[in-house]
Amino acid sequence: MSGRTHGEISGYPVGSTFLNRAQLAAAKVHRPLQGGICGGKDGAESIVVSGGYVDDEDYGDEIVYTGQGGNDPATKRQVGHQELTLGNAGLARNQLEGNPVRVIRGAGGDPSFSPPAGFRYDGLFRVVDHWRADGKDGFRIWRFRLVSLDNIDQPPIMDDAEVHAPTVIQRQVRSGPLAVKVKKLYGYHCQICDTRLETPAGPYAEAAHVRPLGRPHNGPDSLDNILCLCPNHHVLFTSGAIWIGEHLEVLDVATGQQAGTVRMAAEHAIAPSHLAYRAALHP
Amino acid sequence: MSGRTHGEISGYPVGSTFLNRAQLAAAKVHRPLQGGICGGKDGAESIVVSGGYVDDEDYGDEIVYTGQGGNDPATKRQVGHQELTLGNAGLARNQLEGNPVRVIRGAGGDPSFSPPAGFRYDGLFRVVDHWRADGKDGFRIWRFRLVSLDNIDQPPIMDDAEVHAPTVIQRQVRSGPLAVKVKKLYGYHCQICDTRLETPAGPYAEAAHVRPLGRPHNGPDSLDNILCLCPNHHVLFTSGAIWIGEHLEVLDVATGQQAGTVRMAAEHAIAPSHLAYRAALHP
């Protein structure tokens, strides 16, 4: 089990305030005195959002958070590239495991959502996505979409109260009418490996949006942006483990080798611009 | 695309009331004049919960709903077995696709949640699970766990309002500290096929509870109830496509053939009682 505390710190409910970083550290709500992310390769526990990064976007229940590194604390501008290591790797790991991070806002952040002074613990957020981008200052950054658990993770009611606390959503697959249309077009066969999962209630496949839906990507929910994949290839595709080139070749990012070709139905095409958008999200 | 309307009927918001089944049918909120389920193999649109089945359990935002068939309308008792066909297959299909059903409650249902007279449209519910059980009257029934969309499906905020309406949760994977412990025990290799999904943020696997969590199964969140599976085998296991016997043999339910053996770490064991419980949930 991870030695990290993915959850609330006893005695510090949502809304708890702190005068400074030393108090936050003493409470173990955010342990490092300087870094914005408390985390490493094994996961992240907490982050501070305090206006230190020019690319941060705060929408209250949702935050597009910039990873750590390449930043000049004096000017808050990016002066170098960021890597998917240290705390950035931790936030990505949280997404894979479904573990939440504690979000602490500081007075320097977006005035609509930040405390007037000091720091405030604002609850648990889930890392729902991460991707690479070119920041406003022209350097490569990593971005993380965080959504408040209050908004999305209400578990079904259960009799056993003990089950409640530790359970988080690790993965959420969305669907809709167009997703079903694409899946039917391929008979629920994965366009990469041809697998068709047969269940007693019928075949199962998942729809993968090439250019992601939602802020800030705003990919369309349209046929030319949807692939039919088995769950395993869906995970590999959206995590950036595989990459689809302009000729629909599947590349294994770790080895750089081609690992197949996306099979397309005659009446279906993926827009090259969506493939290019997706390819730019992961190195 | 399915010809079914999985969603609200325009002009009939949550709380709309109807004097009788004829009014419900005319409004297309629930089209059949008699059946409790409007649906077929391709999915289900709506159900009526009105106390017609002795095994129904209503908890307000959650309903354990009995499938159709084998029921004597006069006495409301089960007089025969139910099959996973017709509307029952439809509800199971909704679970696979993530499509919601309209829930209509009638005056004959649980008095805590039902209208005093006639029928009331109570909103969209997601089918989160289905399983076979022996009903109170000794016949085999199919049961469906339905959870109000208001409770669980709030999507992350998106810029594009059009994305909102058609998108539903098709699949939700839960995790927690013990799940992570089991996954680490197997190095994120699937216990059935040995697959390990490598992503840039580290390996990915899913934890499958053998005896399901939550009402009415109330399986424990304990090591002896958790398997480490790849997403594909997770889907096959929880859908009842494969079945794990007491000697950890994997059986393909459709063919009746053995399809492998569950690999176990020396320090890990699954309780036979949990395997037996799961095996009884699917035919």
CB spacing of B178 vs A169 below 8 angstroms:
no
Q: Which tens digits make up the pLDDT trace of A207-244? A: 999 999 887 889 999 999 999 999 999 999 999 999 99
Structure-token pair, residue B175: 């995790």
End residue of a domain, out of A139, A164, A189: A164
CB spacing of A215 vs B157 below 8 angstroms:
yes
B92 contact residues in A (CB cutoff 8 A) = 200-202
CB spacing of B232 vs A180 below 8 angstroms:
no
Regarding whether B212 and B102 lie in a shared domain, the answer is no
Regarding whether A112 and A218 lie in a shared domain, the answer is no
End residue of a domain, out of B139, B164, B189: B164
B279 touches chain A (CB under 8 A): no
Regarding whether A155 and A79 lie in a shared domain, the answer is yes
In this structure, what CATH number is given to the domain that contains residue A62? 2.30.280.10
Q: In chain B, which residue's Cα lies nearest the Cα of A146?
A: B156
Q: Which of B172, B193, B211, B253 to mutate to test the interface with A (most CBs of A within 10 A)?
A: B172
Q: How many angstroms away from the CA of A19 is the closest CA of chain B? A: 31
Q: Which tens digits make up the pLDDT trace of B204-240? A: 999 999 999 887 889 999 999 999 999 999 999 999 9
Lowest mean pLDDT among A247-251, B25-29, B113-117, B277-281: B277-281
- CA A91 – CA A42 distance, rounded (Å): 9
Q: How many angstroms away from the CA of B60 is the closest CA of chain A? A: 10
End residue of a domain, out of B96, B129, B164: B164
Q: Which residues contact B140 (CB under 8 A, 6 or more apart)?
A: B81, B82, B132, B133, B134
Check if the beta carbon of residue B120 is closer than 8 Å to that of residue B15.
Answer: yes
Q: Which tens digits make up the pLDDT trace of B25-42? A: 999 999 999 999 999 998
In a domain, A11, yes or no: no
Burial profile B59-79: b = 16 or more Cβ within 10 angstroms, e = fewer: bebbbbbbbbbbbeeeeebbe
Q: In chain A, which residue's Cα lies nearest the Cα of B180?
A: A1
Regarding whether A133 and A96 lie in a shared domain, the answer is yes
**pLDDT band at A153, cuts 50/70/90?**
very low
Q: What is the pLDDT of residue A164?
A: 37
In a domain, B2, yes or no: no
Q: What are φ and ψ of residue B51, in 5° steps?
A: 75, 15
Q: What are φ and ψ of residue A186, in 5° steps?
A: -105, 10
Q: Which residues contact A29 (CB under 8 A, 6 or more apart)?
A: A9, A12, A16, A18, A46, A102, A104, A121
- Cα B185 to Cα A124, B23, B210: the distances in Å are 27, 57, 17
In a domain, B125, yes or no: yes
Regarding whether A139 and A49 lie in a shared domain, the answer is yes
* Mean pLDDT within A62-91: 90
Report percent pLDDT > 90 for chain B. 68
Q: Which tens digits make up the pLDDT trace of A7-40? A: 889 999 999 999 999 999 999 999 999 999 999 9
Q: Which tens digits make up the pLDDT trace of B167-184? A: 678 888 888 889 999 999
Q: What is the pLDDT of residue A193?
A: 97
Considering chain B, what is the average pLDDT of its residues? 89
Q: What is the pLDDT of residue B163?
A: 36
Regarding whether B24 and B107 lie in a shared domain, the answer is yes
Q: What ipTM does this complex have?
A: 0.84
Strands A168-175 and B168-175: antiparallel
A164 touches chain B (CB under 8 A): no
In a domain, A5, yes or no: no
B231 touches chain A (CB under 8 A): yes
| B-contacting residues in A 54-113 (Cβ below 8 Å) | 59, 61-62, 84, 89, 92-93, 95-99
Q: Which tens digits make up the pLDDT trace of A93-131? A: 999 888 899 999 999 999 999 999 999 999 999 998 999
Range of the domain at A199: 177-279
Q: What is the pLDDT of residue B5?
A: 84
Regarding whether A266 and A132 lie in a shared domain, the answer is no
Tell me how many residue pairs between chain A and chain B have CB atoms under 8 A apart: 244
Nearest by CB to B166, which of A61, A195, A221?
Answer: A221
B99 contact residues in A (CB cutoff 8 A) = 175
* Mean pLDDT within B67-93: 90
CB spacing of B214 vs A170 below 8 angstroms:
no
Regarding whether B238 and B207 lie in a shared domain, the answer is yes
In a domain, A39, yes or no: yes
Regarding whether B133 and B67 lie in a shared domain, the answer is yes
CB spacing of B283 vs A175 below 8 angstroms:
no
What is the dihedral sign for C-alpha A63, A67, A73, A75?
negative
In a domain, A201, yes or no: yes
Regarding whether B71 and B49 lie in a shared domain, the answer is yes
CB spacing of B180 vs A59 below 8 angstroms:
no
Q: How many angstroms away from the CA of A221 is the closest CA of chain B? A: 6
**pLDDT band at B153, cuts 50/70/90?**
very low
In a domain, A207, yes or no: yes
**pLDDT band at A152, cuts 50/70/90?**
low
In a domain, B23, yes or no: yes
Is the entire prediction scored with pTM above 0.95? Answer: no
Report percent pLDDT > 70 for chain B. 93
B241 contact residues in A (CB cutoff 8 A) = 197-200
Q: Which of B182, B195, B204 to mutate to test the interface with A (most CBs of A within 10 A)?
A: B204
As for how many domains chain A has, the answer is 2
Regarding whether A256 and A118 lie in a shared domain, the answer is no
Identify the CA nearest to A2 among candidates A89, A93, A81.
A93
- Cα B8 to Cα A84, A171, A194, B27, B180: the distances in Å are 43, 26, 35, 11, 39
B147 touches chain A (CB under 8 A): yes
- CA A255 – CA A104 distance, rounded (Å): 38
Regarding whether A155 and A36 lie in a shared domain, the answer is yes
Residue with tokens 């309209």: B102
A5 touches chain B (CB under 8 A): no
A147 touches chain B (CB under 8 A): yes
